């Protein structure tokens, strides 16, 4: 394909952005993830959900996975308890097909699979989550095939608090945050946290004696930042955060790596200008991510230790200009990645740069809203990728409208997939192509009596899926071979009855690879999620019921001739909180209330019933 310049891209794009007048939801909350500029959640044409810090505290989630699995279209596959490897599938797409952002910046993923490990992101950092379902590569570039999860670490209100918690499996938690306003223009935040659990035996049926132990997890987190408004038009921020995680896992053999230690350090700085019809923001970030794996009984500096050492630099410049009731929005993203992957015998070094140019738009014409986006990504490894999306919504009667959208998206191969990894006996595949998808979605939403609801039907066709195979000597390589088609129907609704708030999600999914019509592994065919909240006599209660239908543990390949069927399961979580004083609140939670025995990965049972108790003091 002939390479396009940014000027040619701009000439080809016709995209207007404006705040839509569609107001099916009476919700004035502002979101930034849909089109990378602030807009009311009621104006977003794609399905979107928001998790606030209040939600996290009310649910008493202990991990990011705990919170995300409540969302529509999310299926979680976890190999054990807290800190163990887990993957998340959004609307049936691969785990690597969901873009994870932290404060709008892509999360560095050093592993060869390109999958974000949600268990390694401390929940104490999270103040808000914005989750948009469907393709968003035309806005963000690579990885946004299934959706985008934007984890926001900044709290806007100057409220300080301390939290102490204990729970099952020797769980303990200590968190603290100091948010102090200095005058009317400056907010200073310092926060830290400690989380530890001895865990449980994640493979009790293993025949290896070395696996007959608890697999624990420990996390230490620190966050600091300054936000300052220089005048009515200009504001800026500087912040840094980091965490140190230790996760025990089963190796299968003695004196083999069984402990993972991750160090993440991130520094960010930005300036924003907003005056009249024009707004602009420039953000710089540096992420350093070290992933050690070593033998726990011998220590990190003994032979056998492996290390993935990654550095990722991001520059983002976004601009928007309001014209009457419309707005044109455009920006540039620049990303540089460096990775060193080594052990005692081999070392691989990689470097990649990507520059993306994007335009997004939304405009209201009477009862019709049109939305469009166009993006080009210039990657020094696999060249130029153009993605686009378009959507239309029609409010055919007050408080009811229909939407139709189409989008293209792509997933970039990881550095290790393209250039191999000697320590894992993986050879290079420099001609590996990006995975590409074409998606359409039709939706109907409205406000019927007290019920605010949305019905969506979608189809996602993904080509050039990346697969792996190894020869008889154990040497493997990645290659493009498969295609898959994913179809689904999703219904979400929320309503209040007296003091009770209800949130319901139904989902049906048919995800198959095209070559043999085989169902893709670890995707439940049916989902039902119900959340009930109420407050009585000062006591806040939350009950969550989640049902996941039957699935398969694996797909057939050179290592498995048959698929293993996984049974359906359902979970009930119960949490309660009560303010003892205006500053002190006591909270309690029972996870897996009925002690359901289930697995999401064959051979890895889950924790069973768990109890948690915590106290939060705000000042």
The annotation places the binding site at 85, 87, 112-113, 201, 213, 215, 249-251, 258, 306, 522
The two structure tokens encoding residue 416: 């290790």
**H-helix or E-strand spanning residue 416:** helix 415-419
31 C-beta neighbours (distance < 10 Å), count: 22
SS (H, E, C) 238-301: EEEEEEEEEEECCCCCCCCCCEEEEEEEEEEEEEEEEECCEEEEEEEEEEEEEEEEECCCCCCC
Q: Using the Cα atoms of residue 210, residue 211, residue 214 and residue 216 in order, give the sign of their dihedral.
A: positive
Residues placed in the known binding site for cyanocob(III)alamin: 85, 87, 112-113, 251, 306, 522
DSSP 8-state symbol, 557: B
Binding site members for Ca(2+): 201, 213, 215, 249-250, 258
> Strands 476-497 and 451-470: what pairing?
antiparallel
The 3-state DSSP class for residue 182 equals strand
- Taken in order 550, 555, 556, 561, is the CA torsion positive or negative? negative
CA nearest 129: which of 56, 60, 195, 57?
56
Tokens, residue 296? 């726990």
Instruction: Specify the DSSP class assigned to residue 421.
Output: B
Alpha carbons 432 and 415: distance in angstroms, whole number: 11
E-only strand ranges, 345-382: 347-365, 368-379
The angle formed by the CA atoms of residues 274, 30 and 131, to the nearest 5 degrees, is 120
Bin 437: left if φ > 0, else alpha if -120 < ψ < 50, else beta: beta
- 166 CB-near residues (< 8 Å, 6+ apart): 172, 173, 612, 613, 614
Residue 405: both structure tokens together: 């959208």
Q: Say if strands 584-591 and 278-294 run parallel, antiparallel, or are unpaired.
A: unpaired
Q: How far apart are CA 231 and CA 371, in angstroms?
A: 33
Element (H, E) at 409: strand 400-411
CA atoms within 13 A on the CB side of 127: 15
E-strand stretches of 103-214: 105-106, 128-133, 147-152, 161-167, 171-182, 186-200
| CA dihedral sign, ordered 28, 268, 53, 147 | positive
Whether the CB-CB separation of 505 and 487 falls below 8 Å is answered with no
Residue with tokens 């968190």: 175
Phi, psi of 603 (to 5 degrees): 90, 0
Task: Report the C-alpha gap between 306 and 345 in whole angstroms.
Answer: 10
What's the CA gap between 128 and 120, in Å, rounded? 17
264 and 232 Cβ atoms separated by less than 8 Å = no
CA-wise closest residue to 601 among 68, 67, 76, 66: 76
């Amino acid at each position: 394909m002939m390479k396009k310049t940014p000027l040619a891209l701009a000439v080809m794009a016709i995209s207007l952005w404006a705040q839509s007048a569609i107001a099916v939801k009476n919700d004035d909350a502002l979101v930034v993830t849909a089109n990378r500029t602030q807009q009311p959640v009621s104006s977003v044409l794609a399905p979107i959900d928001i998790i606030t810090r209040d939600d996290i505290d009310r649910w008493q989630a202990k991990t990011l996975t705990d919170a995300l699995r409540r969302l529509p279209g999310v299926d979680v596959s976890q190999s054990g308890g807290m800190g163990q490897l887990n993957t998340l599938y959004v609307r049936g797409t691969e785990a690597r097909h969901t873009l994870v952002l932290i404060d709008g910046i892509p999360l560095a993923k050093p592993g060869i699979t390109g999958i974000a490990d949600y268990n390694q992101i401390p929940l104490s950092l999270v103040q808000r989550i914005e989750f948009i379902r469907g393709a968003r590569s035309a806005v963000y570039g690579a990885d946004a095939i299934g959706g985008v999860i934007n984890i926001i670490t900044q709290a806007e209100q100057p409220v300080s608090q301390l939290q102490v918690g204990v729970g099952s499996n020797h769980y303990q938690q200590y968190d603290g945050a100091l948010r102090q306003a200095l005058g009317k223009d400056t907010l200073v935040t310092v926060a830290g946290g400690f989380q530890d659990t001895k865990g449980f035996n994640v493979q009790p049926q293993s025949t290896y004696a070395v696996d007959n132990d608890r697999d624990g997890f420990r996390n230490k987190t620190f966050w600091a930042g300054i936000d300052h408004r220089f005048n009515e038009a200009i504001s800026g921020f500087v912040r840094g955060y980091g965490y140190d995680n230790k996760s025990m896992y089963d190796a299968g053999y003695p004196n083999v790596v069984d402990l993972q230690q991750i160090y993440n350090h991130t520094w960010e700085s930005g300036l924003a200008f907003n005056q009249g019809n024009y707004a602009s923001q420039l953000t710089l970030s540096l992420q350093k991510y070290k992933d050690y794996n070593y033998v726990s009984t011998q220590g990190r500096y003994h032979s056998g230790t492996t290390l993935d050492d990654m550095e990722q630099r991001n520059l983002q410049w976004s601009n928007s200009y309001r014209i009457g009731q419309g707005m044109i929005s455009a920006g540039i993203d620049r990303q540089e990645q460096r990775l060193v992957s080594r052990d005692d015998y081999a070392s691989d070094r990689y470097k990649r740069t990507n520059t993306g140019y994007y335009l997004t738009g939304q405009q209201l014409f009477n009862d019709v809203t049109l939305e469009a986006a166009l993006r080009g990504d210039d990657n020094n490894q696999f060249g130029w990728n153009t993605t686009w999306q378009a959507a239309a919504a029609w409010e055919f009667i007050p408080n009811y409208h229909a939407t139709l959208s189409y989008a293209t998206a792509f997933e970039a191969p990881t550095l290790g997939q393209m250039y191999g990894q000697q320590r894992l006996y993986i050879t290079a595949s420099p001609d590996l192509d990006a995975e590409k998808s074409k998606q359409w979605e039709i939706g109907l939403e409205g406000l019927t009596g007290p019920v605010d609801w949305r019905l969506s039907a979608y189809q996602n066709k993904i080509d050039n899926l990346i697969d792996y195979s190894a020869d008889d000597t154990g040497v493997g390589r990645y290659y493009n071979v498969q295609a898959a088609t994913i179809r689904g129907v999703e219904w979400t609704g929320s309503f209040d009855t007296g003091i009770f708030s209800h949130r319901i999600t139904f989902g049906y999914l048919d995800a198959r690879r095209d070559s043999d019509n085989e169902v893709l592994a670890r995707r439940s065919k049916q989902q039902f999620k119900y959340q009930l909240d109420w407050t009585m006599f000062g006591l806040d209660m939350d009950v969550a019921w989640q049902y996941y239908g039957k699935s398969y543990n694996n797909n057939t390949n050179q290592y498995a001739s048959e698929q293993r069927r996984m049974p359906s399961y359902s979970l009930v979580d119960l949490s309660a909180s009560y303010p003892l004083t205006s500053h002190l609140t006591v909270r309690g939670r029972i996870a897996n209330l009925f002690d359901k025995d289930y697995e999401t990965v064959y051979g890895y049972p889950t924790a069973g019933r768990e109890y948690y108790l915590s106290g939060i003091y705000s000042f």
